[in-house]
Each structure stands twice: as C-alpha cells, then as structure tokens.
Amino acid sequence: MSDLTFSTVRKTFGQNVALEGLDLEVRDGELISLLGPSGCGKTTALRIAAGFERADSGRVMVAGNDITNQPPHKRNMGMVFQSYSLFPNLTVAGNVEYGLRTRGISKPERQRRVTEMLELVQLGPMANRYAHQISGGQQQRVALARALAIRPQVLLLDEPLSALDAKVRATLRDEIRRIQTELGITTLFVTHDQEEALAISDRVGVMSNGHLEQLGEPTEVYRHPSSAFVARFVGSMNELPAFVRGPDAVAIGDYVVATPAVGMREVGAPVLFLVRPEDMSLGASDAKGLPGSVTARTFQGAATIVSVRLDGSDTLVSVHVAGSAAAHLAPGDRVNVVMDGTRGVCEAGVAA
C-alpha cells in the first residue's frame, strides 16, 4: 500500500493563500489529476508532497507514515518536472542511473534497472546520448524513466507535457497512463489542461483559490459539475440569463427548461443557466425552443459547432450537432435552440 494523503494542508506565501486546508487521498495505484487555472494551488500541493515546500499546517502521509517534515531526499517519490530537468552532464543512461547511485545500489543491479526502464519508455537505443541530442518528448520520457527507476512509492507529475507540441503531448499522455497502469503506481498529476486530465485520470480534482472544488471520476466531473466554476473550467458552457420558474425548472424568456439545478432558490429569482453545447440541439423554426439566427458554422469532423444569436438579446450560444446534420445550415438561417437541462448548472445572476 502506498496511498498519498493530504490532511487539511495549508500553505501561504506572504499574503497569498496557496492552499486553504487541502484534504485529498490518492488511493494505492490510483492516478489523480489536479486540474485548475494558474495560481489555484495545484503545483504547491505537488511540491509539498515532494518536500520542496513545507506546509504551514496539516499533514502529508504516504502509506500511513507522516512525511510532512521529511526532507525531499528521504521521501521515496519520483517526480517529472514541467521544464526539461535532465542533468546536462550525464547521458540518458546516466540520468536514469542517478537515483540508483544515490541509493548505493550495486553496479550490475543499476545497469539491469537502467536497461529495464529505458525499454519501458522505448528509448533503449538512446542510452548514450545527452539531453541536448534528443527531442523534448524523449527528454520527458527519460525523466519519467529516471523517476520510476528508484521504484518510488508515489509518482509526481508536474505538468510534464506542457512544453511539448500537441501530437507528442497526446502520445506521451497515453504512454504515461500505460506505464502507470502497468506498474500500478500511485500517481499525482498536475495539469491545467482539462483534456489531459479527463483522458488519463482515475479521478480528477478541480482546484480553485487553494481549495478542491470537486473531486470525482472524469465523467462525473464533466457531466455533473458541482459548481459553476467547475462547469466553466471543465469543457465549454453556454451561459443564459434566466429566472427560476419552479423547484425543478428555469425559464429563459418564455422557454421553460426542466432542471434539477435550481436548488433552494425562490421562484422568480434571476439566475445564470449553464448548459453544455452537446446538451443543446437545433429544432425547426416553428418548433418549441429559443428562436435565433445562425451566425457561424464550424466543421470539426465528427461534429459541427453551430453558433446561434438568440432573438431579442446579444446572447450567443454554441450548439454541437453530431455528424453532418448541420451541413445545410448557412449564416442567417432561422433555427430554434432546444436544450436538455438535466445536466445544467445554476448560478446566481442579475435580473435580465
């Protein structure tokens, strides 16, 4: 067992609160992504786990052992950094071997593990090269091999893909997940890229202003965001001024949408109703819905994004239309926007 636990961890930098009592448990063999905008505290949490920052209060535990006050070199954690971190004076093999040397492991065992790790990241033939002789993606794979060579209890990934181009990023992302699953290593992954987080995580933690807004499986976080912040940060959202029509319904103009998101709000209260583009569809101009005019159409392969300006307001909504159903639409065409409010989110708004 090597689960990683944060218990009410708080950290401030001067007047800025980086972590406001973080509680998080990364279960044994699980990959949790901490997702959030810059300054939300996700990297601070990771650096506290690694021992590079000291928490003001709270505890960090690995496999039930309190490591809060342990220096980084005594924690058995592998880390891959955002910037390229290979030691320029060492070859690829030398880098992977580094952590094994510091642990006083015998030479034959070191060589065996270096070979094993380089094969794991498919870089065996690059063993004698130096960092500047391999690509950015390869450097990060070596960094991953180096972090894993020491057989850490926990793997910490600090935005390891952000410096790479899109194609390499996607490939390496899948490779990280494959290796993580293969080794069953407890992993904390920090990213600001929602697509990355949703793609490879067992659970995603969305952070804002030093606290965890929501922690859940990727589908749950995407489908049932617990707050307007999470809804906006994970995926895209249409925002419509509305008012509460009843305990289970909001009205956008005359169009009533059934939704469980009203909560305890009073009837008539103004709200901002958030709906994902894929929960909207286009009906004929005489159907029930919100009438508007098509302003643009963007073909994206599997789906088309249609932008519609709603009548009587400046509100612009995006509607995902699957397949080629929207192929006939042209700017200026009249449509009716229909929506499914079951996964919508309400936020206090001002009267329209």
Which of residues 54, 103, 107, 334 is near other proteins by CB under 8 A?
A: 103
Per-residue binding letters, 154-173, with other proteins (x by CB under 8 A): --x-----------------
Q: Which stretch binds other proteins (CB under 8 A): 47-55, 221-229, 246-254, 315-323?
A: 47-55
Q: Do the Cβ atoms of 25 and 4 come closer than 8 Å?
A: yes
The rounded distance, in Å, linking the Cα atoms of 285 and 315 is 18
* DSSP code, position 91: B
Q: What is the dihedral of CA 44, 50, 52, 58, to 10 degrees?
A: 60
The rounded distance, in Å, linking the Cα atoms of 233 and 231 is 6
* Interaction of residue 267 with other proteins, rule CB under 8 A: no
* Interaction of residue 88 with other proteins, rule CB under 8 A: yes
Helix (H) / strand (E) containing 209: none
* Interaction of residue 140 with other proteins, rule CB under 8 A: no
Query: 3-state class of 13 per DSSP?
Result: strand
Which of residues 324, 325, 334, 348 is near other proteins by CB under 8 A?
A: 324
Site residues for other proteins, window 62-81 (CB under 8 A)? 71-75, 77-79, 81
Which of residues 99, 205, 225, 291 is near other proteins by CB under 8 A?
A: 99
* Interaction of residue 151 with other proteins, rule CB under 8 A: no
The rounded distance, in Å, linking the Cα atoms of 161 and 170 is 9
Q: Which is nearer to other proteins, 71 or 184 (CB)?
A: 71
* Interaction of residue 83 with other proteins, rule CB under 8 A: yes
Using the CB atoms, write b or e for 229-251: b if 16+ within 10 Å.
Answer: bbbebbbebbbbbbbbbeeebbb
Residues that bind other proteins (CB under 8 A): 50-52, 71-75, 77-79, 81, 83-85, 87-89, 91, 98-99, 102-103, 128-130, 133, 143, 146-147, 150, 156, 297, 299, 301, 304, 324, 327
